[in-house]
Amino acid sequence: MKNQSSGTCNFCQHHLRHLVTDLGMQPLCEDKIRQQDLYKMEPHFPLKVYVCEKCFLVQAPPVVSPEIIYRDYAYYSSYSDTWLAHAKKYVDYAIKRFEINTDKLVAEIASNDGYLLQYFASKGIPVLGIDPSYEIAQYAEREKGIKTEIKFFGYQTAQYLVETYGQADLLIGNNILAHVPDINDFVRGMKHFLKEGGAITMEFPHLERLIADNQFDTIYHEHFSYFSFTTVKNIFDRYNLSLFDVQKLKTHGGSIRIHACHKGDKSRPICKTVHELLKHEHEIGMDSLTYYNQFNEKVKETKRKILEFLIEAKRKGKQVIGYGAPGKGNTLLNYCGVRTDFIDYTVDRNPHKQGNFLPGSHIPINHPDKIKRTKPDYVLILPWNLKEEIITYNSYIREWGGKFVIPIPELTIID
């Protein structure tokens, strides 16, 4: 679908003309609305995603600076047991594969509340966190003893880190690449920060899953880019970093974990997984525009199905509530125009969110205990990537005939 130019590609600076989807006007996802702000004006920004016809980077042109996004960032990774278990397993893997010992420095970009570095630190391995959110970084230092630099990562920060701490033997970045406003500056910074013979691992949702599984709700203003392996490889190549392994993960609806090293590092031969995934992406056409053409229509049909379910449930006098208050939930609810007219309230285990309201929809966020008091007929699981964990913990809703509803890839009711 062609339309007017929307600026230039974040990586190759080519003009952006091909729209992938338009999710309307959206507030910032990770903002929580406080009781006292309910009657104030709330900024909304267009949320449109484009694909670059030259490098195939899928991207949402930035509408707001990262300083504004992360000022009051409230996502604490440690509130998800699934994510913690994933982090712990990774640490065991990394220590073995990269021969990490107490002489090595492990650094994580977007270290959040220390959810991952804590497992290295508990083995006496020196760690360094880098995270722009003051509140979360303070928490990591205070509660988990994880030294955290409160900074955005980029080339300039990398220079400071190298001067202050030396280069990193293992550099980790999970679910950060999508959030980077200047991808060139970021990867250049990683190249500078990485020690000779060191390794980088990064995890991010795989674009193939977003398109194939209709995960349009993982699109939000905080996510500037959506990556195929092919495009990431091209970006890393430009900065003389070579991708030597890639693994598929189940996290966040289907992610990949890339492994990178300095180009020419003979100790890290390129695994066949790299060639296989590049071949697969080429075969399904991720490096052609037609691959991205059908997505917008699929997104609109999903909206119609969600509304169909909600309208029918409400006509029958059923109570529908939400579970979770993740960024993706906000994209979904605001795109569908769903407010308390359809969903009475949502719940979240994160106490920093409880008592507040979802941006845009102003659906109240309660403690999960409220479910037992109001006995809803349907619980719509907004963080569908954690659906197994949520269904297991809340299976008691079946005592009164309550059912779980999963909105993505298409609306499914689970008895």
Sign of the C-alpha dihedral computed for residues 254, 259, 263 and 268 taken in this order: negative
Record the tokens describing residue 297, joined without a space: 């229509």
Contact between 55 and Zn ion per CB under 5 A: yes
324 burial type by CB count under 10 A (0-12 exposed, 13-18 middle, 19+ buried): buried
Which region, judged by CB under 5 A, interacts with Zn ion, from 27-35, 47-55, 98-106, 248-256?
Answer: 47-55
Q: How far is CA 381 from the centre of its chain?
A: 17
User: By CB under 5 A, how many residues form the interface with Zn ion?
Assistant: 8
Q: Among 50-58, 85-93, 304-312, 376-384, which window interacts with Zn ion (CB under 5 A)?
A: 50-58
CB burial string 387-401: b at 16+ within 10 A, e below:
bebbbeebeebeeee
DSSP assignment letter at 316: T
Q: Which of 333, 302, 323 is nearest to 374 (CA)?
A: 323
Residue (52 or 172) nearer to Zn ion, CB: 52
52 binds Zn ion, rule: CB under 5 A: yes
Q: Please state the closest distance from residue 219 (CB atom) to Zn ion, in A.
A: 18
Q: How far apart are CA 109 and CA 286, in angstroms?
A: 28
Indicate whether 237 belongs to the interface with Zn ion (CB under 5 A).
Answer: no
Q: Hey, what are 32's tokens?
A: 């929580």
Which stretch in 51-59, 98-106, 133-141, 210-218 sits in contact with Zn ion by CB under 5 A? 51-59
**How many whole angstroms separate alpha carbon 376 and alpha carbon 319?**
5
Contact stretch for Zn ion (CB under 5 A) within 8-16, 34-42, 89-97, 328-336: 8-16
Work out whether 372 is an interface residue with Zn ion (CB under 5 A). Answer: no
14 binds Zn ion (CB under 5 A): yes
Nearer to Zn ion, 62 or 197 (CB): 62
Give Cβ neighbours of residue 243 (< 8 Å, ≥ 6 apart). 229, 232, 233, 236, 258, 259, 260, 270, 274
Residue 16 makes contact with Zn ion by CB under 5 A: no
Contact yes or no for 102/58 (Cβ under 8 A):
no
Our finding on whether 9 is near Zn ion (CB under 5 A) is: yes
Residue 12 interacts with Zn ion (CB under 5 A): yes or no: yes
By CB under 5 A, is residue 20 in contact with Zn ion?
Answer: no
- 286 belongs to the binding site for Zn ion (CB under 5 A): no
Stretch that binds Zn ion, among 48-56, 135-143, 160-168, 357-365 (CB under 5 A): 48-56
Which one, 16 or 158, has the nearer CB to Zn ion? 16
Binding site for Zn ion (CB under 5 A): 9, 11-12, 14, 52, 54-55, 57
